Every structure is written in C-alpha cells, then in structure tokens.
Structure 1
C-alpha cells in the first residue's frame, strides 16, 4: 500500500528551462499567455491579474472585478435567481448551461447589483466571459435592462463592464432582441439625467459592442482589449483590403474617436471614483 501510494505520480507544473527545472504543485503557478513568464498565482492575484512583466491584462471573473472595486461588504446582488431556459429547444443547450453554472458558480454570464465605490453609491453590471463566452442571451439582456431601470428609479449612476463573444446563437432572434431592449432602457435612463460609464474589456464583440457597450456617457476600455462587431477575416473578405495590425484594439478605437480613454486596470478605480464625485449631486447623479 505504502509503495503504491509513494509510487503514484503527482500533478505538477514545470517552469521553463531557463528558470531551472523545478517541480511545483499544479495550480500554484500561473503562466502569462502573452509573454509566457510564470508567476505565483497569488502574485498575479495581487496585481489584479495584470502581468508584472509585460502588463498584459488577463481576464477577471465577475466577482474578482466586484471585489477589486467595491467597498467591502457593500455590494448587493440583483436578480440572481434569473436563469436561462431553452426557448428554441436547441440540442445540448441546457447541458452546456448547467456545466457553466457548475464551473463559474453563476446562473448567467452577467452579475448586476448596487454598492459603493469609495463611498459613492452606484448601480453595476459586470459580464463574465467564462460563462458561455459572455454571449448575450435573453436573460443577460433582461438582467442588464432591469439594472438600468433600477438605477433610474433609485437615481444611481450605472457602471457596466463588458466582455462578450456576441449574441448567443442557441437563442436565435431572442438574443438579438436584447440589443434593442438594453438600448431603450439606457435611453430612458439618459433622458432622466442618469450617468452611465461603460468599460469594455477583452473581448467585447458582436451585438454587445453594437449596443449598450458603446452608448455610455463615458466609454472606456482596458489596454489591448479586442472591441468590434464583425471579425477581421469577414471584414477583409468583404472590403477586399488588408486591415491595420492594431485594428479593433482599444488603442485603435481611441485614436479614431470611438473611446474616451484607455485605462490601465490599476488606475481604473481611482478614475471611476473621481468621475462619480464630479457627477454626484445629493446622492444621485447630475
């Protein structure tokens, strides 16, 4: 028994040869997908998943984003109970949704709610690309629309962090309808004097980029985020031209007037706090 136990191979992650062949327990280290450097996972977590070497912004989960921004214990989640059905009886769809729920601990690819950021009350939405690639279905659209309506009724500014691969094909036209529904809710919110801040993260594509992600009073993005509607290959085949290498990056959009600012993750909370302070008036928004 003891021989069998000690003879079993354990799972290890191995550092590159230039760093020495050291075996470390799997899960302890994390490799940057951009520069390939390896770090202790705790070190990357302390850096909000920004690579200390190349500054690459790795994705954050919805709750990691909330924890990085909100005052401790202040966040109150809205509409957690809303879950996706299978309106078109798409084969295997319910099983895929169930797997994502188990993997992420989320019922849907967006978390909405309210809380305080450095004492400033805000309504909030954050998309999580680890749930169905952040694709927008009917429940996601409903949760975002409800969050915007709650923000209007409670006179709160609304901040949304987007991350999406586009519309959810398993829900067909019901998914595409969410573009109009969310945009109408934001229009009513804006007409009531509400402040909306959109922060686009990697990637923000398809119907999300063509609707609520791009119609904030302030439109920001994280460095090198992919932002666009159709893919590069489709556009090049359509226009029969080669696109610039930085096409559809946050920096490209900023240069062409489609973003207000590209903001490093470490600076984001400070900038959001300053904007909330400028616009806040009597606990509401100007």
Structure 2
C-alpha cells in the first residue's frame, strides 16, 4: 500500500504502456549553467541563451540563415565531397565512416561555401560544420576554400571563413596538411586582388586551422567564450607539467594577449561583419 500513490491505484488512474506519450525531443535546451530555454526562443535569438549569453554550437545552415539577407544565398561547389584517398583503416574503414557521416549530417564534407548579401553587402562565406568528423580539415575543405577564393577574385567580393574545427583529418594524413599551404597561397592572391578576408572563430577552433588561416585574416573575430588553440588544455598541461592560467584558450584570453581583434556576440555578428567589410574595402582602395 505504501506505493499505491506512485502507482495511482488510490485514484483508480491507470495508463497502459501503449498509451503513454513521450515528451517530444527538441522543445527545450539546457545550457551548461543550467538555464532552460524553449527551442523556438533560442532559434529566434540566433541560438544564444538570453539569460546567460551561452552560444549553442550550430552548423553552416544556421550561420547562413543568420547572416544572409532574408536567408537567401547560393551554395557554391556543393558537389565536391570527400573520398578515401589512402584507403585508411582504423576500427572501421574511412570509406564506411564517410558513408555514415554523410547519411547522418546530409553534408558532403566539413565545410560549405555560399554567396549572398549581408546587410546589402555581397560576399562569399565558407562555414565549417563540426558535426562532420569534428569539422576536420581534409583535401575537400582545402579545395572548397580555394574555389571560394577564386570566386571572390573573379567577382571582386570580400571573403569570410567561419571556423569550427578540431584540426587536420588524420585519415588523409599528408594530404590534409598540404591544404594549409594551399589555402595560405590563395589568401595571398585574395589580398593582392585588394579583397578583404575575415575569420570568425567559434567553439572550438583547434589544430592546423588555428595554426594557419584562422589567424592570418585581415580581421580576426571570435564568439564569446569560444575555445581556440592548437593543442587542447589537457595535452598542454600534461606536456609542461603546470597548471594553466584561468580562462586559458578562451576567446577573451586570446583577445587580451593580442591574438583576436574583437569578440562579437552572435546576435550582433551580421551588423559587425557588414560594417567591417565596408571599412576594409575602403582601406584597400
């Protein structure tokens, strides 16, 4: 009888297992600080929790919708996708892993290119997707960035990369690392053409991305509290055998040390990017 209340027998209330309804997923989001927010309210606020300012990790589709006027843009090079160049095998083959992640994410690789207008300013934006093998840099990412830059030069448009990556893709070995030099060479051509390049660093931005083109932009912007670095804090701590400073590798820490120019909230990024592009174009000319 002690458990009758829990079983609701006392009120003669019973519900068969078949009739029980689960709460639909995705209606609410809980931030690391414990704040609860409705999914629709979160989306309306560019996926930033209004109570604590926490920036929820999002993908290229959300960034494109957020930045391009009226959510209108043209995707470039959508047919370029990853292949298993080296026939790499770990616990499973790279080919199988690519098939799985492509089916799960509906993406062809870890970056997408798009062109459109940002507050009336036409530009090209490349955005990484962390959901695709951690936003890792492989031969396709390097090639798509190269094509995006060529498009910018041909049409005289400014360029922006939204970085969100764990670093180079190990399954492509040296092919992955070769993309660093390839992208840097193309960025020099972009600069020679008098066209600005903006990097927007989001959480996380690590490895070869940080060691190369994420940190060579005309303007380096970061989201609040984003983790940015080469190796992770745990690896560094174990390597040097010392505790790291408070806030180490956050965007705020890097701005204080001069590695980041500005920290811009996602709710303000569209206005800030369009304004920065106009200023940079003026400086170039």
* TM-score, reference length from structure 2: 0.89
Q: Please tell me whether the aligned partners of residues 196 and 281 of structure 2 are also in contact (alpha carbons under 8 angstroms).
A: no
1:155-211: CA deviation from partner (whole Å, max 9, x where unpaired): 110011000011111111111111111111101111221100100000000001111
Q: Give the Å deviation of 1:6.
A: 6.4
1:7 to 4, 12, 18: 18
**What is the CA–CA distance in structure 2 between the aligned matches of 1:4 and 1:11, rounded to whole Å?**
13
Secondary structure of the equivalent of 2:69? coil
1:42 to 17, 40, 43: 40
How many residues align? The count is 269
Q: Judging changes above 3 Å, is the alpha-carbon distance between structure 1 residues 97 and 252 closer, same or farther for their aligned structure 2 residues?
A: same
Secondary structure of the equivalent of 1:228? coil
Aligned to 1:238: 239
Q: Give the Å deviation of 1:238.
A: 3.0
Moved more, 188-197 or 61-70: 188-197
Aligned to 1:26: 25
**What is the CA–CA distance in structure 1 between the aligned matches of 2:101 and 2:257, rounded to whole Å?**
37
Secondary structure of the equivalent of 2:161? strand
Aligned to 2:9: none
**What is the CA–CA distance in structure 2 between the aligned matches of 1:235 and 1:4, rounded to whole Å?**
55
Q: Give the Å deviation of 1:37.
A: 2.2
1:121-175: CA deviation from partner (whole Å, max 9, x where unpaired): 1011011111111011110111012111211222110011000011111111111
1:196-228: CA deviation from partner (whole Å, max 9, x where unpaired): 010000000000111111111000100000100
Q: Please tell me whether the aligned partners of residues 119 and 271 of structure 2 are also in contact (alpha carbons under 8 angstroms).
A: no
Aligned to 1:171: 172
Q: Does 1:191 align with 2:189?
A: no
Aligned to 1:63: 61
1:221-247: CA deviation from partner (whole Å, max 9, x where unpaired): 000001000122222233332211211
Q: Give the Å deviation of 1:4.
A: 10
Q: Give the Å deviation of 1:275.
A: 1.6
**What is the CA–CA distance in structure 1 between the aligned matches of 2:63 and 2:72, rounded to whole Å?**
14
1:18-60: CA deviation from partner (whole Å, max 9, x where unpaired): xxxxxxx22222222x112222211111111111221110112
| Higher strand fraction (1 or 2) | 1
**What is the CA–CA distance in structure 2 between the aligned matches of 1:167 and 1:265, rounded to whole Å?**
26
Q: Give the Å deviation of 1:102.
A: 1.9
**What is the CA–CA distance in structure 1 between the aligned matches of 2:15 and 2:248, rounded to whole Å?**
56
Moved more, 105-114 or 247-256: 105-114
Q: Please tell me whether the aligned partners of residues 48 and 60 of structure 1 are also in contact (alpha carbons under 8 angstroms).
A: no
Q: Does 1:127 align with 2:128?
A: yes
Q: Please tell me whether the aligned partners of residues 109 and 140 of structure 1 are also in contact (alpha carbons under 8 angstroms).
A: yes
For structure 1, the 5+ residue unaligned runs are 13-24
**What is the CA–CA distance in structure 1 between the aligned matches of 2:236 and 2:15, rounded to whole Å?**
58
Moved more, 187-196 or 248-257: 187-196
Q: Please tell me whether the aligned partners of residues 138 and 168 of structure 2 are also in contact (alpha carbons under 8 angstroms).
A: yes
1:6-25: CA deviation from partner (whole Å, max 9, x where unpaired): 6354333xxxxxxxxxxxx2
**What is the CA–CA distance in structure 1 between the aligned matches of 2:102 and 2:22, rounded to whole Å?**
26
* TM-score, reference length from structure 1: 0.88
**What is the CA–CA distance in structure 1 between the aligned matches of 2:172 and 2:25, rounded to whole Å?**
38
Aligned to 2:266: 265
